[in-house]
Structure 1
Amino acid sequence: MAAFYDSLNVKRHGSELGKFRKLVLNDQEAVPTMDGDAHRTRKAYLLAAHTSEWIDGYLKESAEFQEKLVVLIKEAAAGAGVEGKVALFPIILKTYIKMLAKVWFGLEAGDEYVANFLALSAGFQAPLPIDLPGTTYRAGIVARDALFATYADQLAKHRKNPDAYKHTALSALLAKQQEYELSDLMMLTELHHFVFASSGLMAPVLCAALMGLGTNPEALARARAEADAHADLLSSASTADIGNQLPFLAWTIKEATRKYAFIPIQLGLANREFEVDGYTIPSGTFLIAGLHATDMDPAIWTAPEKFDPARYERGEGLGDFDHVPFGAGNKAQTHRCPGGPAAASMSTVILGRLLLEFDFGLEAGQDQVPKGPLPANGLPVKITSRRA
């Protein structure tokens, strides 16, 4: 894995899926597909919106969505009846989409925005990217254009009334736009990529954390005890609080990204000839890095098939390339997602709030997620409130 994340060995440009470039990057050259000096310069620009100070601001802005998510789950549980089940994943996903729209763009997203985002996601997941009327892929392109129109409107609002948007990622990037000479379209494309990646990955990760805890009663008890002990902190936590007072919840999110195959592979192109374990990789070779295979490697992990957040407390998986859900290496130099810490932090406090509020009744086998990013059947669970 170290060889793959060496930017001298492997480049990303030219290895990306066409539908990723079309739907997520809007046919632009954005940070996931850039290499060399251009990538480092763009990364420096994006990291300006992902300092610990800015992430703390995002956590503060996201607190209201904890409340909204709790209310939505309670309403769904009440509608399901005593023995009924709630499809948990769609509720969490839609809440994440709205939360990230607020945090990144300052947007009070409604149902139309969510519908467009779901249509774009469906287009991305379409097996064949056929750009013809009536196809799921074409619907995704139409939704992308509608989303970018919304983003442009938010950009105009930021410029007209900047004091109303002091804590959004867009405001952070606007402050650096002239310094880095980025167009409006490029700036909005980078933020669109953040929303797509964060909602598309972290909502399933949150569900996976709940599924994993359902298979490990000891871990569930410990995670819940931590949430109960810091109930007043969950809606006002900072990144420092998460590390100091919510470590087990943070490990639970990390373990969910390891155990379940949300990003099973990473693609690249050999930038030069190099060797890996005695094998010579010719320049220009299309490469597939087996991230999930590394996450399940018994040489790295004790009982890798077990969901065990405490493994990080014991010192497992702490090597630079043992577990790379958000990329690896120096965040300013390599393809390491600048939004990873923000996404993980928000997911940690939301997990704590859900464990504080609810018991989730999972059935045998529900911890088995298919080889893709979505839990089966929307993750139907029986929900019981723990607090009045």
Structure 2
Amino acid sequence: MARITKTLVAAIDQAVVPYATKLFLSNSESGDSANEFKLASVNSFPSFVKGDFGNDALFDSIYVATLQGSIDEVETTCTLLVGKATGDLAFDIAQNNQDSLISSDSSDALAFFDATLYGPTLSRIVYSLAKASVPEVSNYAIKNVETNHLGSAFIVDGKYRVVFYRFNTVSQRNGLDLIFALDELGFNNMVAPLARIQDHDSNDLGAIFDCTDSGMSLRSLALTSLRDLFDLGGDPSKAGGDFSEESKRLGEMIGKLHSAAGEAFGVFPGEPKEWIEDIVSRSGHRGSKASKAAANRCEQLKLIENPGANIRVHGNLNLGNLVRSEMGWFLDDDGETKTAVWSSPIRDVSELLAKLEEMAQNAASERFEDEAERAAILAKAWVSRNREAFLEGYLQVVESADLVPPDALELEVLLNSFGIATL
């Protein structure tokens, strides 16, 4: 294991702090409230991450930089995986891999790089992490399937999805807490989590999932149904691409998810006052007028007699992470969510339905000009039919668990109120 010298720490400090500040600024909700981070420590990769990595010399040039600062006025400690390269490798990264480059010297003979963005290095890291966590991994066959500002995802051995978070707030990821808790209860409508990649203080750096199941996203299937309706016209129930049965099955799956989450984390009395504060706050990204309008529209929420339950909800159900396979609907979630969301389960439901409606409206607006008006009418009918089917399936599952208002009018108030924040 390479020795960490004062000279090395100083060089990493000079290179990483400006890069990290810019990186974390891009993750700030406001976009302008991340202060300059300070380097707190530098550790070697093997001494920081749980696992047996043998004598692979690669890890002598990989370091974990821990930084401290604030994002959106919240004090935060974050980690970055930093690689050090010299010679030809440094030149190659500086000249041909700008996305992963943190800094280089004037001759490109020394470079520091973001190891979660440089494929060749990260592939070796990913394989070692997968092998250390899941001994069944037998084949060094790695495919990078996604790299963005949040991190990188790889398929290893054709069977395992390894996710390495680029932006690591040092703490246990609440999204992973939810996924593993659901898995322990036997909720199997999701990509099965296999292991958490953690440092020696049990902070989450990534995770490993089973990837043997595959399918089509809710977005793809819903768009196919809509386009079929646009082409044929008429009653959505009679179109060849009628989606209502799938919407009902999806509602049943989300109902099972909420029931399992309630069992895992507890079911508590509804908190309309807190829900209203959340709705108004999340509406604020559109300006003060939007927040005021949201507050006015939530007035009815204060009058509900039986608001249902307050539970741990998912908080980020969308058209991309809900997937239909031969086995049914499942949640494809990498556990990236950092914050636990407690709310009415109708928050998840309302936001998902609002996203479906937005997608349908956008699909209609993209038709040729002479078709747009007709498509908008058909899209509205499609949304109404699938909303009704989804709620039918959902309520059949959750009604007996007292998670939502038993009164239909009060339920509609909740749906409309939570939908405001998604508009």
TM-score by length of structure 1 reads 0.24
More strand by share: 2
Larger relative contact order, structure 1 or 2 (CA cutoff 8 Å, min sep 6): 1
TM-score by length of structure 2 reads 0.22
Tell me which structure has the larger Cα radius of gyration.
Answer: 2
More helix by share: 1
